[in-house]
Structure 1
Amino acid sequence: MKSFSSEIESNHLVEVNWADRWQVYQRLKELDIPCTCTANQPLKVEIGSPMTAVQLWSVIQRLTASRQDQILTLECCWKIANNSSNF
């Protein structure tokens, strides 16, 4: 059986709209997340930590989620941040 750490260190193919793939790749490179994007091939991302997985999710959400969904997510984050500062 593989350990969790060995599973998250492997490369993963990421299904991204071909039109958005280059933007996702560029943003991941800016975040220093190891990835490759070659012609006519899927985007490959090395997910080495839970933080990397969240960053990948965030980058993809930014391009694919509706404006309303992004607003709701941001409002939820603000509420959580405000509630945690009251403790």
Structure 2
Amino acid sequence: MNQSPTVPSWGQTVSVRRCDRWSIHHRLQELNIPCACPADGTLRVDVNHALALLLVRSAVRQFSTSRQEGIDWLERCWQTQVTCVANS
């Protein structure tokens, strides 16, 4: 099968809006997560561990949710009470 030289053969394709993919790409580069924006309009990300997966999710969420959704999520976080048992 012939692959286009502009599309990386590595990583996973992340579904994001085309208008957001370069911003997400830039943020992932800041986080040292290998990624590419090939000419086909996709965003390719190389995720090899759980922390990278969480960072990708966070970066995508930052650009894909509305301001109000972000505010609602933060308010839920602030209202959640978590008891730390590590110091018991």
TM-score if structure 2 supplies the norm length?
A: 0.73
1: distance between equivalents of 2:64 and 2:37?
Answer: 19
Supply the distance in 2 between the matched residues of 1:11 and 1:84 (Cα, whole angstroms). Answer: 38
- Identical aligned pairs, as a percentage? 32
Q: Which ranges in structure 2 are unaligned for 5 or more consecutive residues?
A: 1-9
Give the aligned partner of residue 62 of structure 2.
Answer: 62
Q: Secondary structure at the match of 1:84?
A: coil
SS of the residue corresponding to residue 13 of structure 1 reads: strand
Higher alpha-carbon deviation: 33-42 or 43-52: 33-42
- Mark the runs of 5 or more structure 1 residues left unpaired by the alignment: 1-9
Using the TM superposition, give the Cα deviation of residue 83 of structure 1 relative to its aligned residue in structure 2, in angstroms. Answer: 2.9
Residue 44 of structure 2 aligns to a residue whose secondary structure is strand
Q: Aligned partners of 2:83 and 2:75: how far apart in 1?
A: 14
Question: SS of 1:72's equivalent?
Answer: helix
Matched residue, 1:40: 40
Q: Give the superposition deviation at 1:85.
A: 5.4
- What amino acid is aligned across from residue 84 of structure 1 in structure 2? T
- What TM-score does the superposition give when structure 1 sets the normalisation length? 0.73
**What is the alpha-carbon distance in structure 2 between the residues aligned to residue 33 and residue 77 of structure 1?**
26
Which residue in 1 is equivalent to 2:83?
Answer: 84
Q: Which of the two has higher C-alpha Rg?
A: 2
Runs (4 or more) in structure 1 with deviation over 4 Å come to none
